[in-house]
Amino acid sequence: MPLRQDSWWKRKTKLERKLIVVALVSLCLAGFLLISLLFCQRIHSTFLGSDDICLTRECVETAGEVFRNMDESVDPCQDFYRFACGNYIKHSLISNDKTFANTFTVINDILQEQIKISLEEAPSAKEPKPFVTVKKYYRACKNKTLTERYGLDIARKLLKDLGGWPVLEEYFDDFTYNWIDSIRALRKTGLSVNSLIDISVGLDFKHSTKRLIQIDQPGLGLSREYLVKGISDKIVKAYYEYMVDIAEMFGCDRPKASEELLESLQFEINLANFSLSQEDRRNISNLYNLLTIQQLEAKYSQIPWLDLINTIMPKNVQVNRSQPVLVGVPYYLQSFEKLINSTPKRVQANYVMWRVVKDLISYLNQEVKDRELIFKHAINGIQESPPRWKECIDETTSLAPIVIGAMYVRKYFHVEAKQNALEMVKYIKEQFKDILRSIDWMDSETRKSALDKANTIVDHIAYPDELLDDQKIGQLYDKLEVDENQFLYSALNISKFTMDYTLSRLREAVNKTDWKEHGFPAQVNAFYHPLENSITFPAGILQGVFFHKDRPRYMNFGAVGSVIGHEITHGFDDTGRQFDKNGDLVNWWKEETKIKFLEKAQCIIKQYNNYSIPEVKLKLNGVRTQGENIADNGGVKQAYLAYKKWQRSNAPEPKLPGLKYDPRQLFWLSAAQIWCSKHRPEAIALQVTVDAHSPAEFRVLGPFSNSEFFAKDFNCPVGSKMNPEHKCSVW
């Protein structure tokens, strides 16, 4: 039965629910008042004894948030994460529609509310057409009546039009089936064509001013890290049961679905086994295998490559056999060729159509989505689906991010935040260059190349100005049409529009600062782009616990400053270091310096390999997470030293009220509290298994315990957990 129907809450009477809500609200209010009274008392006593306290509204609110999150009963020299975030973990509730409660989810909730307001405003006469279009799409998504009534029937018809899902069909013509015909039908419809082989257009790694057709292993219906464990793994079993249940909902006989989809699953497990792991993909040179289509056809002769590629490319961008293509994983193609020739066509078709059905589920009726929820619960512990309007915000944003971004920044972003962030980027970049000049393990030639690369990093802060230009937005999306009464077909139309646009750029000149590549401000994230040698900080992250223009700089440098340093360091982590200042895959390292770098990176790998999550009995993967860990360590160090430099040329900043910590200690608290997080066990197990990022607590414990500056600021004795004798440092 669906989780949402079996929940404890649903079994209560209306009176019981009201009483429970009143009791919980009263308890929360009482707790909040108690904390507020204690905090006010601290402010009063602190203020009486000092005149260097900031009492602006923003300082008081910031101090209150810092105080509410931390647990001062914990020794900061033993576990700074629990010291900084202990009460956040104790008192935060994970809402039923989430897998984590953290600073990112808080800001994302605010972002969703803001986008909702914009999308639900009635269109004005002067509103750009793309704004009207996305509002229509949002309304189509929210129309549950049509989805409930027709969603499943529309999906069944779509499958028929695509040639049918064999598990549902009484008759399937094995003789005439060809998987490339399926890809052709999917491409015409706007559905993903990458379930067997991923074919895309991207920058040439070694000549990043040009674009290439890229051929790679596909994304799978379940993460490779699970599939390679085989059918006996509990998550793989949950995936299989999900497949069978969905087929039954579409009208298939269960025994038949169980038998045929087991074969389909084994086919997918084989694809996973042929695929390269995340760890092995960190050496970018291994992913660079340049061939012409003619050479590709000679090497993997059982696949009609020219036909396949031209099937996927737009009609106005067809290629011939002299066209160069970039092959990511030759072993995958070699193994796939053998597998596809030895696999019954019915199994091939069942797998391809299962991947179609899986992609369609979010557009279908609630009963089908409830079954998806059970599968998601097995993977990440989620209890309920988000409210429909939130699902529709995410759906609309994912399909039209530039339009949503334009609507967001016009209404909500303050331009002063952009200027302040640019100033911080300047300070932190300069600090990173100071670090490059001072480290003793680089030879002079490699150091010069590193400094050249650091000097060349391009900044994309908040949003490109073109998002304020109606004409620019209109030109990009002018031909896009949606039907408010056809949610699924409108989604497919947008998907096909986006696919055509992306693939049609094959022969376009490359402009690495193109606004269309950086016009996604409505997100709480940040990026380093190795092929551009650029850093991007969308407007969405320049708020909340990360940044406020009116609070002390030590808080901003600690929070978003650490993120800025993190992204800069990505240009010099184990993968970023493989690209030069122009974004080209070039070895610019002297061999002896490269060996020293790898030794330092190995120290980070070993350190994080030794971290574990007892509640799920899993250890971190130091190889898979090394890039993010190197960036975390370098980022907070750069931000701290940049703040110290800022201090030297500016007047002393006042402390926060009610807190006994000086500005440098508050820097560390700010840097730690961006990672305050509470998780479901399933969600943390998923993260440790598949994610390139370490769990939140180790994004504090790792970098801070490696920092001599942190140890000095908190007077941590040598040998304490936060000040070990042996430390790791790359940058």
Supply the CATH number for residue 196's domain: 1.10.1380.10
> Quick check: is 443 in a domain?
no
Domain count, the chain: 1
Neighbour count for residue 598 (Cβ, 10 Å): 13
Angle at 38 between CA 33 and CA 39, to 5 degrees: 95
CA distances from 511 to 152, 208, 453 (A): 43, 10, 18
Is 200 a domain residue?
Answer: yes
How far apart are the C-alpha atoms of 589 and 441, rounded to whole Å? 12
* 352 CB-near residues (< 8 Å, 6+ apart): 179, 182, 183, 186, 195, 196
CB of 287 closer than 8 Å to CB of 281 = yes
Q: How far apart are CA 528 and CA 332, in angstroms?
A: 28
Asked if residue 227 belongs to a domain, the reply is: yes
One-letter identity of residue 673: Q
- Judged by phi (left if over 0) then psi (alpha if -120 to 50, else beta), residue 537 lies in beta
CA atoms within 13 A on the CB side of 197: 29
User: What pLDDT does residue 17 have?
Assistant: 45
The reply to whether 459 belongs to the active site is no
What number of other Cβ atoms are within 10 A of residue 666's Cβ?
22
- Spell out the alpha helix ranges (H) of 121-214: 129-142, 144-161, 179-189
> Which range of residues forms the domain containing residue 270?
131-399
Residue 289 pairs in a beta bridge with 327
Neighbours of 400 (CB within 10 A): 24
Q: Which of 632, 682, 691, 713 is catalytic?
A: 632
Tokens representing 140?
């189509």
- Identify the three-state secondary structure at position 147: helix
Contact 105, 98 (CB under 8 A): yes
Residue 424's alpha-carbon distances to 419, 483, 636, in angstroms, are: 9, 45, 13
Residue 424: its H or E element: helix 415-438
Indicate whether 534 belongs to any domain.
no
In the set 395, 567, 574, 580, the catalytic residue is 567
Domain-embedded: residue 486: no
Largest separation between any pair of C-alpha atoms in the chain: 88
Q: Could you say which residues of the chain have pLDDT below 50? A: 1-49
Say if residues 537 and 526 touch (Cβ distance below 8 Å). Answer: yes
212 by DSSP, 3-state: which? strand
Cα–Cα dist 160/722, whole Å: 61
- Catalytic, 65? Answer no
Q: Which pLDDT tens digit goes with each residue over 691-709?
A: 999 999 999 999 999 999 9
Q: What is the pLDDT of residue 416?
A: 87
* Cα–Cα nearest to 82, from 510, 540, 676, 550: 676
Q: How many CB atoms lie within 10 A of CB 223?
A: 18
The whole-angstrom separation of Cα 306 and Cα 326 is 14
Alpha-carbon distance of 640 to 562, in angstroms, equals: 8
Domain-located, residue 291: yes
CA distance linking residue 565 with residue 144, whole number of Å: 44
Please, are residues 61 and 658 in contact by the beta-carbon 8 Å criterion? no
**Contact (Cβ atoms closer than 8 angstroms) between residue 138 and residue 482:** no
Q: Which amino acid is at 478?
A: D
CA-nearest of 275, 221, 243 to 165 is 243
Structure tokens at 608: 């994080």
- Could you tell me if 83 and 70 are in contact, meaning their C-beta atoms sit under 8 angstroms apart? yes
List, in order, residues 6 or more apart from 702 with CB less than 8 Å away.
604, 607, 608, 611, 629, 632, 633, 694
- Write the CB contacts of 705 (distance below 8 Å, at least 6 apart in sequence): 721, 722, 723, 724, 727
User: Is 328 within the bounds of a domain?
Assistant: yes
With respect to residue 293, please indicate whether it lies within any of the assigned structural domains. yes
Q: How many CB atoms lie within 10 A of CB 440?
A: 5
Q: Round to whole Å and give the CA distance between 455 and 448.
A: 10
Single-letter code of the amino acid located at 241: E
pLDDT of residue 50: 54
What are 298-348's pLDDT values in tens digits?
999 999 999 999 999 999 999 999 999 999 999 999 999 999 999 999 999
Radius of gyration of the chain (CA): 27
Q: Would the pTM count as exceeding 0.75?
A: yes
CB 396 within 8 A of CB 119: yes
